Structure 1
Amino acid sequence: MRPVSYSRVADIATAVGVVSADADSSFLAGGTTQVDLLRIYVEQPGRLVDINDLPLRQVDPTPGGGLRIGALARMSDVAQAPLVRTWFPVISQSLLLGASPQLRNMASIGGNLMQRVRCGYFRDLAAGCNKRTPGSGCAALHGVNREHAVLGTSDKCIATHPSDLAVALVALDAVVHTESSSGRREIGIDDFFLLPDQTPEREHPLGHGELIVEIEVPPSPVADRSLYLKVRDRDSYEFALASVAVAISLEGDRISDVRIALGGVATKPWRARQAERLLTGAPATVQNFGEAARAELLPAISHGMNEYKIELARRSIVRALEMVTADDWRQGVGTGGAA
C-alpha cells in the first residue's frame, strides 16, 4: 500500500474544502470497503480526510411521516431504530441482511451507497476492467461471470452494484442530499447511480469533494408494508445473487400502489417500473405477479454463466410479492433462501 497522509476534520465546510482543494484526496468514513481497496492498490489516494467527527448520525422522522438519515449513521443503528423497523421495514431488513454485525457496527450509510463493485476482475490489477482502468476492456464479458449483471449492462461493464440498502432506497424514491464548494443539492436516488454505458468508471454524478450529508426518504403510503428478500449462495453474510425490495398498498384484493426494486442482477439498483405498471390496479394473484415479473425481465441479457439469474430474478419477484401480500406477511420480513 502506498504511503497515505491522514487528517481529521470536525465540520462539513472544512471537510469539503480540504478534499475539493486536493485532487489526490478522499473522504474516510467507516472505511470497510475503502481500506480493502487501498491494500490491493485498486484505489490509491494520497490523502484520507476522516469525517467521523461530523454531526451526521441522525435518524429522525420528518413532517408527514418521512425519514432523514445522516450520512455517518452506522448501518446497525439505522437497522435497529424503532422508527425504521416499524414504518420502513424494507430499509431495516436490507441493512440487517447486507453485512455481518461487525461490519454493520462500523460501516456508514453514505459509505454503503458509495461502495465499489465486487467484481473479481475489478480487484485484479492484471485483468482488463474499464471501471478501474478505462479502455482496458471488460474481462467479465467472456470470463467467470456467474455473479454478474443481466440488466443495465453495456459492452464496457457487466458488474453488479453490491449495496442492499440502495435497492430499498430506490424502491422508496429516496433523495440524496450533498454538499460541495458550490453549495447543497438534492439528487433522486435513481439518478444517483449511473449505468455503465460508455463511462463505466463513473458510478455517481458527484464531483470531487462533494459529500453526502443526508438521505431523505419521503412519506409513502406503501412503506410500512414492505420487505426485502435476498437470495444468496449461503445463509450468512454474502452478496445477493438476486434480491427484491417490495412495498405495497392493497384495497381489498387489488393492488392500489406498489414499488419494486431489484438487486444482484443489474449494474445499478434496478427499479422494476414495468412490473409496477402492470400490477397497479390489478388483483394480487400469483398469475399477475408472474406476468409482471416476466415483462420486467424481457430486456435481460445473459453472458453465459449468469443466465440463471434471469429466471432467479423472475421467481424472486413473485416470491416477494406473495410474501408481502400474505395476511401474515410480517413473519416473512427479511427471510432469504432459494426462490
Structure 2
Amino acid sequence: MLGNSSSANCTLSSPPLLGEICKLFVMVLLIIAIILGNVVSLLVFLQARQFRTSQGYLKVSLALADLAVGLIVVPYSVYREASSLASGMGQGSSSCSIPSLPCFVTGPIFAGCTFVSITTIFLLSVERSVAVLKPLHKRAVITKRRTVWLILFSWSMSFLLAVVPMISSPDITLQYNPCSKMCTYAFPAGRLPGSPWNIMLLFPAFDFSLLGGTFVINFITFTAIRQYCKARRWLGSEAQHNSRLSFSDITAAKTIGILTFAFSASFSPIAVFVVGSVLGYQWCQFSFYAFWILTSNSCWNVAIYSAWDPKFRQGVRELFSRPVLNSASQRPSRSTEGDSSAPACVAVLKEMFHPENA
C-alpha cells in the first residue's frame, strides 16, 4: 500500500534462495486462507436469514474487502516473486524502478481495501454502540437502507483516498518493491523524496483517527455492558425484562472489539514504516513484515467469528450440512432446487433496497 522505493532498494544483493522460497510459500498459503475464509464468511452471511441485518451487511462489506486482497493483490505478488525466482536468484531488481500497469491496479486496491476495513469496523462499532445504549431505538436509527448507503460511501471515499498521493503530486507513482514484495507508492528512480512525500502521512492519520474513534466508542459500549451485567446480577431477571439487550448483542459487541484490536495490531507496523519512509529511513526487511502482517489480517476475521460468535458457528454448520440434506430430500424435484440455490444473493439485494424492510 505504502512505501518508499528508491534506487537504493533496487541494488540489493541477492537474498538467500531458501528464504525467498519460504516467503513465496507463505504468500501462497495466505491466498488460500484469505479466499477460503472469506468465501465461507460470505456464504454464511448470505444464506442465513439471521445475518440479513445492518450488522450482517457491514460484515459482508468487510469480507468483500478482504477477499479482494486475496484474489488480486497477493496473487500478483506471488506472480512477481515466482517469475523472479524462475529467471534468477530472486533479485527482482531489474524492474523495480519501472512503474508497471498492474501496480496501478493492485496498489490502490490494497490501500482502498485497507481503508474500507477500518471504516467498516468503525461503522460496526457505532452500530453495536447504538444497539447496547439505545436498544429500543436501534431499528429506527440503524436501518438497512442507511447501512447500504454508508457502505457505498465508505467504499467510494476509501478508494478516492487511495489515489490521493498520485493526484496530489506527479512525482509519486506506483512501483513493485522487492523489499516489501508489494506494489507501493514511490518516487521514480533518480528522484529523492521531498515535501510531496508528506502526503503519505494522510494514510496513517486517517486510519489512526478512525481507530481512535473506534476505541472510544468500544470503551463506551463495554462500560454500558459492564453496568448492565452488574445490574442483572443484583436485580436478577428484572433487569433483563426491563432492557432488550440480549446475550447476542453482548457477544457481537465483544467480537467487534476483538476485530478492532486485531486490525490495530496489524496496522501499527505499517504506520511506523510509513512515518519512517517520510523521514527518509529505508527499512527493507522491516517493510516486508509490516506489509504482510497487514495482509494477513484479511484471513483473521473468519477465525475471530468462529471463536467468538455462536451464530456464525451455527451458520457454518448449517452451510456444510445443507448439501447433504438437499441431495437426499430434493433429488426428485428440480423446481425446488432452482428456488433454493439462486435466491440467496437476490433476496439479500431485495432486502437491502426494499422500503418495507428498511
Query: TM-score per shorter chain, which class?
Result: under 0.3
TM-score (norm 2): 0.26
TM-score, normalised on structure 1?
0.27
Bigger Rg over Cα: 2
Give the structure with the higher percent helix: 2
Structure number with the bigger relative contact order (C-alpha 8 A, sep ≥ 6) is 2
